[in-house]
Structure 1
Amino acid sequence: MINNIQVAMPQCGTSHADIMYEVLAEGGITRMMAIFSNLEGETPLGSIRSLRPYYLSIARSYDAIMVHAGASEGAYADLASTGWDHIDGVQGANSGNYYYRVQERINNAGYEHSLFIDMDSAAAYAKAMNCRFQHEDYQNALSFTGEPLTDGTPASQVTVHFRTNKTTSFTYDAGTKLYTGAQYGSDWVDGNDGTALTFRNLLVLGAETKTIDDYGRLAVTLTGKGEGHLIRDGQCVPITWSREKEDMPFTYTLADGSPATLAAGKTYVAVVPPESALDLE
């Protein structure tokens, strides 16, 4: 779970992620979840924030170990009921041996925005907590192709709206076939080394989002079906996402029912309320 509030920028370690999810949290802000196929080295990851049930739902769709720092009551209940593998920087046993606070972040952003863990430490902690490192009966539902996306709406400039003032934008480079991200009026970069975050694929998925308590916590419906958009190769096409159960992967289809295929490379996924705007140029 990666902090995405403006005062906590820049994030660290995110340029190494294979997939980046961005979803609304309470208070109109978004929080991100970075999915890694491998964690090696002393690269810092963070700052790490707390878990919500719908982020755990996404992690379950990849059969992934959840790395987080605390959780809402609902998320802790889901972790307990599913027995899902996770490492917790707040209530986890011996978490202080692996997670650490960065004093500069405490001074500039606040204590709650200062928790980090290194890649090697995350893997070591997961091993110490007896997390499962091999998939069991898991099949990736994503489809890939080497062919360009055609017959869509031009999408060289993309702005994703999250029903609030929060937006994330992308600029397409036809030479590299990559979308470079920006938010809060600046390039989206990895604070470890200044690397710009770039993506081969963008997915924007509409999902019912409602407030469930006085604190403003949200429920996001991530099973069933919904509408969305696939953006790559400077083109945008409508898609339908579907998912039968919480422990199953998402599948994506085009209007004719054929699979919506991704290009090999990194992917950004925005989960937004269905009424959220998507600007394309």
Structure 2
Amino acid sequence: MRKLIIFLALFMLLFLGACSDDQEKNAEDSESKENAVTEKDQTNNKNTFPLTGVKTDQSVNNRITSVMINNHRKARPQSGLSKADIVFEILAEGRITRLMAMYQSELPDVAGPVRSAREYYFELANGYDSLYIYHGAANFVNDMIRNRGIEHLDGAHYDNDGHLFKRESFRKPPHNSYLQFGTVYEMAEQNGYDSTQTYEPLPFTTEEEAKNITGDPAANVKIDYSGKSLKYVVEYVYDEDNETYTRFSDGKKTVELNSEEPVTTDNIFIVETEHHVIDDAGRREIDITSGGDACLIQKGKIRHVQWENRDGRIIPVQDGRPVEFVRGKTWINIIPTDPGMSKSVTVSND
């Protein structure tokens, strides 16, 4: 009887071991199949979002939309910046910047507050063949927009219609005009503009190339737009885990108004160029065509490069060749040559 019990016990151990091996094998087979499916899905992602370099199986032919976003202290936090593929940050009047957020791969429900147009912004928007959206402008700027054939939607013509633009009560004008993004393409078509477009992607690295980016350490980047006094400083802080930079204005984290989601970027492209004040209101003329000194910050590293305007797009170059962005979002900070990069930009590994 004792021998029978021992025999049965051994049999059960062998049986359970075989079951365990089968389960492990099935799990391995399942994991292999999942990996194979993932690799197949990645292979099938034949389309590329032109402003981020991200691969997708979705259609990528919706038209780029460039929206003027207010960056006055009374307009912060803004709405929709976390969805933008590229954000240009440039001085308007005084020492406060204005933003132009370019949307294509992701579209927010609401963007804003929306502010007025400037020549250098609409020329940049036109260089990317995008629809340019703003709220109001000086008469001479509106004349330039019409005369140069800039395809645009002006919030002054739709002020508080509740369909394309809405004035919110929690802020005072001019810091309360918000674009209702779901109607943009509809209104574009009503104005005779295309809502679809195909684009050549910007230059991007592969994932493997991105791992091998070299340069000096750049964990913290500060850009002083104030000149001699420290009144307005942009800061980017590197997150090693996510390999992205979180943006700050005047020491406060840039976040979405409703969700408080931080605004992050994968590329920081700082461009130095000539700025000239052209009238008593402090409006500027800014050179966005001649090229010059720049720096490109990615993956916790900084490289000193040049910038060029090629076919209307501002890109980094070195030895005459384009320097590639890493896949993801980009902030392009344009700064004056006076005081220049050496006095305006501080980079550290803290």
Indicate whether the TM-score tops 0.5. yes
Write the mapping of 1:62-211 to structure 2, written as runs, cut at 5 A. Answer: 62-91=128-157, 97-106=163-172, 111-135=173-197, 139-146=200-207, 147-148=209-210, 150-164=213-227, 165-211=231-277
Indicate the residue corresponding to 2:57 in structure 1.
Answer: none
Q: Deviations over 1:128-185 (max 9, x none)?
A: 222222337x544434332236332210001112244321101101111100011122
8 Å CA contact retained: 1:163, 1:272 = no
Q: State the alpha-carbon separation in 2 of the partners of residues 223 and 30 from structure 1.
A: 20
Q: 1:253 aligns with which of 317, 326, 333?
A: 317
* Partner secondary structure for residue 346 of structure 2: strand
Write the mapping of 1:224-263 to structure 2, written as runs, cut at 5 A. Answer: 224-243=290-309, 248-254=312-318, 256-263=319-326
Indicate the residue corresponding to 2:49 in structure 1.
Answer: none
Aligned residues: 272
Unaligned runs of 5+ in 2: 1-67
* Partner secondary structure for residue 90 of structure 1: helix
Kindly indicate whether structure 1 or structure 2 has the higher relative contact order, using CA contacts under 8 Å at least 6 residues apart. Answer: 1
Q: 2:278 aligns with which of 191, 212, 231?
A: 212
Q: Which has the higher helix share?
A: 2
Q: State the alpha-carbon separation in 1 of the partners of residues 221 and 335 from structure 2.
A: 15
Indicate the residue corresponding to 2:20 in structure 1.
Answer: none
Q: Deviations over 1:223-244 (max 9, x none)?
A: 1211101000111111111126
8 Å CA contact retained: 1:23, 1:270 = yes
Q: Deviations over 1:232-258 (max 9, x none)?
A: 0111111111126xx62223212x333
Q: 2:99 aligns with which of 28, 32, 35?
A: 32
Deviation at 1:266, TM superposition (A): 0.6
Larger Rg: 2
Scaled by the length of structure 1, what TM-score is found?
0.90
Alpha carbons of 1:93 and 1:161: their partners in 2 closer, same or farther (altered >3 Å)? closer
Deviation at 1:121, TM superposition (A): 2.2
What is the RMSD computed on CA atoms of the aligned residues?
2.1
8 Å CA contact retained: 1:163, 1:273 = no
